[in-house]
Amino acid sequence: MGVTAILGGQWGDEGKGKIVDYLAKDADIVARFSGGNNAGHTVINDQGEFKLHLVPAGAFWPQVLCVIGNGVVVDPDALLDEISGLQKRGIDLNGRLVVSERAHLVMPHHTVLDGLSEIAKGSQALGTTGRGIGPAYTDKAARIGIRAADLSDVDALLPRLESVLDHANAIITKVYGGEALSLEEVFDSCKRWSENLSPFIGPVEHIVYDAVEGGKTVILEGAQGALLDLDHGTYPYVTSSHPTIGGAQTGLGLLPRQIDAVLGVFKAYSTRVGSGPFVTELLGETGDTMRERAKEFGTTTGRPRRVGWFDSVVARYSTRVNGYTSLIINKLDVLDDFDSIKVCSHYELDDEVVWDFPGSAGALERCTPVYEELPGWDGTTAGVTKLADLPDEAIAYVRRLEELTGVPVDMISTGPHRRESVEVRSVIQT
């Protein structure tokens, strides 16, 4: 029994949703701890294909309690739409979903401010998902956020909402020349959210603590990835939360001793959405082939993802930040048709050899990748479920990733469906 964190090792979109859905068969709780509906987790199982943004990917196993922790920012309308969309497809979350009373809400002014600030930044824009995530975390830190608990007494909330909205409207109108939001309309939304979301709001920290101490199996579902972490990522081209292991603790009120395993999820190559340095990016025909093969278009925004070779400088850094006990390599099948496959072992920067990921975005922009070239494989990995059925070269590729990162691989994913998975060792701590 234990607590296993499933974390994104790169820039998000590593396929964590599929892995959580697969592993949740043995879980009692699946808990999100950071980010918001900027995340987009695709899950394909025997019930169909689902795109989740806030609801944890444990939703498809009836024994699983889905939890949204205090570290998540929750857009109430997005969550309610997701709950009812799942309900229509036979996934009932009543009594199976708890949102922390301490979770901050993504308010309508946050979404407006996200859009306006991106436009104002012009060529310096971050390429956010436009879901209001940065402004929601900004208000949380500025202590002018609205939390799920506030929906339990909307009349008491009104005076604070008025002052919060005055502040937001001043920025919207005076800084950006936008249109002010109406207090009445936002308050009406709060009343509606209070009515519809209240049954899902509860004391998450206590529920999770009691479950862990009672020996239950808990999966911590990461969103985004280590390189998008506000502190550890490629700042300023990051998200505004902590998708790393520290975020899992503060985002759920967990104790360090309660986390038993940390699984780092990586694609067999790299992708990134939005602006920012990406040393192994492929801009030519190889990149286009990889993008099309892998259908690399954002789940949340539909934007084409930037693609590149596996970067072990990134992977070693992300391992250092998160302390992975093992790795999961996703989308190996995307590399099936390549004659040879490159892996970046280290960088060169101003004629110096660089093994450790630089902290400055400027330095990263000047880094060039140094590649090893490994042979591609005859045959296919797509849909393979047993290690022995993988081509030797594909196994050799995965082994090389283990050597370059210093962490054993527990599982390989060979397709989007839950069943297209190869267990290399036992993955969940029992």
Can you give the length of the chain in residues?
430
Minimal CA–CA distance to 290: which of 300, 280, 275?
280
> If DSSP codes are grouped into helix, strand and coil, which group holds residue 3?
strand
Given candidates 38, 117, 249, 318, which one binds ligand IMP under the rule CB under 6 A? 38
Rg over CA atoms, the chain: 21
Minimum CB–partner distance for residue 164 and ligand IMP (Å): 20
Given candidates 134, 251, 253, 416, which one binds ligand IMP under the rule CB under 6 A? 134
Contact call for residue 40 and ligand IMP (CB under 6 A): yes
Given candidates 12, 76, 108, 253, which one binds ligand IMP under the rule CB under 6 A? 12
Is there a cis peptide before residue 236, judged by omega within 30 degrees of 0? Answer: yes
Tokens of 23: 């592993």
Known catalytic residue at 417: no
Contact call for residue 39 and ligand IMP (CB under 6 A): yes
Minimum CB–partner distance for residue 151 and ligand IMP (Å): 23
Q: Which stretch binds ligand IMP (CB under 6 A): 37-45, 142-150, 155-163, 380-388?
A: 37-45
The owner of tokens 């081209």 is 237
The number of residues that bind ligand IMP (CB under 6 A) is 21
Q: Judged by CB, which is closer to ligand IMP: 233, or 369? A: 233
Contact, 115 vs 20, CB < 8 A?
Answer: no
Could you count the other beta carbons within 10 Å of the beta carbon of residue 246? 16
Which residue's Cβ has the minimum distance to ligand IMP?
274
Q: What is the footprint of ligand IMP within residues 270-309 (CB under 6 A)?
A: 273-274
Q: What is the footprint of ligand IMP within residues 181-240 (CB under 6 A)?
A: 223-224, 228, 237, 239-240
Out of 21, 28, 41, 229, the active site residue is 41
Distance CA 231, CA 235 (A): 7
> If DSSP codes are grouped into helix, strand and coil, which group holds residue 264?
strand
Distance CA 319, CA 314 (A): 8
CA dihedral 151, 153, 155, 158 (to 10 degrees): -40
Tokens of 292: 């099309």
Given candidates 127, 246, 375, 391, which one binds ligand IMP under the rule CB under 6 A? 127
Please, which residues bridge with residue 6 across strands?
221, 263
Q: What is the footprint of ligand IMP within residues 388-407 (CB under 6 A)?
A: none
Contact, 23 vs 48, CB < 8 A?
Answer: no
Minimum CB–partner distance for residue 114 and ligand IMP (Å): 7
Contact call for residue 126 and ligand IMP (CB under 6 A): yes
Helix ranges (DSSP H) in 231-307: 245-250, 285-294
Minimal CA–CA distance to 263: which of 54, 426, 393, 73?
426
Contact call for residue 133 and ligand IMP (CB under 6 A): yes
Known catalytic residue at 41: yes
Q: Which stretch binds ligand IMP (CB under 6 A): 9-17, 56-64, 152-160, 190-198?
A: 9-17
Q: Judged by CB, which is closer to ligand IMP: 7, or 341? A: 7
Contact call for residue 13 and ligand IMP (CB under 6 A): yes
- Binding-site string for ligand IMP from residue 333 to residue 372, where x marks contact by CB under 6 A and - marks none: ----------------------------------------
Contact, 80 vs 91, CB < 8 A?
Answer: no
Instruction: Supply the residues annotated as catalytic.
Output: 13, 41
Binding site for ligand IMP (CB under 6 A): 11-13, 38-40, 126-129, 131, 133-134, 223-224, 228, 237, 239-240, 273-274
